[in-house]
């Protein structure tokens, strides 16, 4: 069923994903600014905020293409997939890495995931650029 949903990509899917990313970014940003400020080092908190910032950019990107792009073109669909997956890999790996000391867990294996997520987000923006050309 999910594959059928993804195969028939619609603008609504991008809007929903963008809204979910935006909602979560606001919640995590507030959590970071208030609760985590007391328990994380300045460096870890700054990293956490980077994850929130890029998740917010991705939320806006997805809402932008959801309202304005033609999802019948492959480039726009790829832009959606790249940015969505890239954001999950990039931002969430940063969240876990930032919280590793506090949670007393070793998330160092996520270190190589962060740049992969960033690369996917770059590819998503590139697909949007190519679709406009």
| pLDDT of amino acid 67 | 94
Rounded Cα distance between 106 and 97, Å, is: 8
Q: pTM of the prediction?
A: 0.89
DSSP state for residue 73 in the 8-state scheme: S
How many other CB atoms sit within 10 Å of the CB of residue 88?
16
User: Contact 56/22 with Cβ under 8 angstroms?
Assistant: yes
Q: Domain-by-domain residue ranges, the chain? A: 9-132
Assign 64 to helix, strand or coil.
helix
With a pLDDT cut of 70, the percent of the chain lying above it is 93
pLDDT in tens, 53-85: 999 999 999 999 999 998 888 999 999 999 999
pLDDT in tens, 92-116: 999 999 999 888 899 899 999 999 9
Q: Can you tell me the distance from the alpha carbon of 131 to that of 127, in angstroms, rounded to the nearest whole number?
A: 6
């Amino acid at each position: 069923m999910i594959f059928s949903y993804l195969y028939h990509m619609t603008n609504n899917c991008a809007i929903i994903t963008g809204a979910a990313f935006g909602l979560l970014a606001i919640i995590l940003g507030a959590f970071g600014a208030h609760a985590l400020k007391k328990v994380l080092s300045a460096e870890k908190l700054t990293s956490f905020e980077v994850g929130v910032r890029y998740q917010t950019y991705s939320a806006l990107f997805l809402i932008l293409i959801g309202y304005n792009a033609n999802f019948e073109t492959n480039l726009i669909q790829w832009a959606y997939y790249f940015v969505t997956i890239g954001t999950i890999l990039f931002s969430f790996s940063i969240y876990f890495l930032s919280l590793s000391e506090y949670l007393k867990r070793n998330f160092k294996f996520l270190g190589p995931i962060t740049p992969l997520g960033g690369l996917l987000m770059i590819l998503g923006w590139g697909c949007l650029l190519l679709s406009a050309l």
